[in-house]
Amino acid sequence: MSTVKLPQSELLDALNARPKHVFVSGASRGIGEAVSRLFGDDNFELSLAARSYNRTLGICMDIGEDKSHPLRMDLSDEESIDAAVVAAEERFGPIDILINNAGLNMATPLNDSSAEGRQRFRQIIDVNLTGTYFLTQRVCQHMPSGGRVLFIGSVLARFGVPGSHAYTASKHAVMGLVRGMAHELADRDIRVNALNPGWVDTKMAHDSLQRIAASTEQSVQKVTVDMLGAQPIRRMLKPSEIARYVAFLVGPQGDGITGQGIDMSCGSFMV
């Protein structure tokens, strides 16, 4: 039986033409859902992971179960992380693009030294930093040359705010991962970046506004007006806006960008 050998240029074209395998964490709602639906309209194969399996299954049914599948994953559980990556690779092969979107935010004020408060702090660090690192580590073991790793960070990687110390610390730490990984993976032609949004119209953002309102004894409406009023562009971003910028960064136009934290925050932080 003879073997047909393609010229090198045709082989590269064939490899580039195959659908890219995208793994999205926190895919069940908000930014993760918007990214999943945007990529679902294009030539991608999607592994969509979240704690909420049923919501993710619904998104996959909308996109098409021939090109997407849901995965139950909890970033605070290492076995769950490993199992999700194995299942993703068994379905669609090595992961070309990793979108680290899953995250957790709860109040962690300095004056709360209770056992519950300390547990909340550990839980946020476990999910936003440790689990996210372990997921990236596992995915990168088999990621092909030309791959992309994108962290959905936060503008709170740039400054601090009262009462949200674990979340702020975790997002600062993610920028350390981005810069170190960008160097370590450069020889494999893998780009590593973070996209740092400000206020985005998601459940997490509205929960944060409600916590601020409760702690300051103000209405949610007033807190929202004050927060957005401090920005040059006085509005919340839409998850779909973030998704379109994600597509740019992980696409061919983003090939010259690595090791960066790119702010998309309506001007709330300016260099």
Q: What is the pLDDT of residue 268?
A: 81
Question: What does the mean pLDDT of the chain come to?
Answer: 92
pLDDT in tens, 73-126: 999 999 999 999 999 999 999 999 999 999 999 999 999 999 999 999 999 999
pLDDT in tens, 149-194: 999 999 999 999 999 999 999 999 999 999 999 999 999 999 999 9
pTM (two decimals): 0.90
DSSP E strand boundaries for the chain: 20-25, 44-50, 68-72, 97-100, 148-152, 191-197, 260-264
Supply the DSSP symbol for 238.
P
Distance CA 214, CA 219 (A): 8
Output the six-digit token pair for 147: 């791959």
Handedness of CA 257, 30, 73, 43 (dihedral sign): negative
**Under 8 Å between Cβ of 243 and 31:** yes
Phi and psi dihedrals of 155, rounded to 5?
A: -60, -15
Output the six-digit token pair for 103: 């995250």
Average pLDDT over residues 26-50: 96
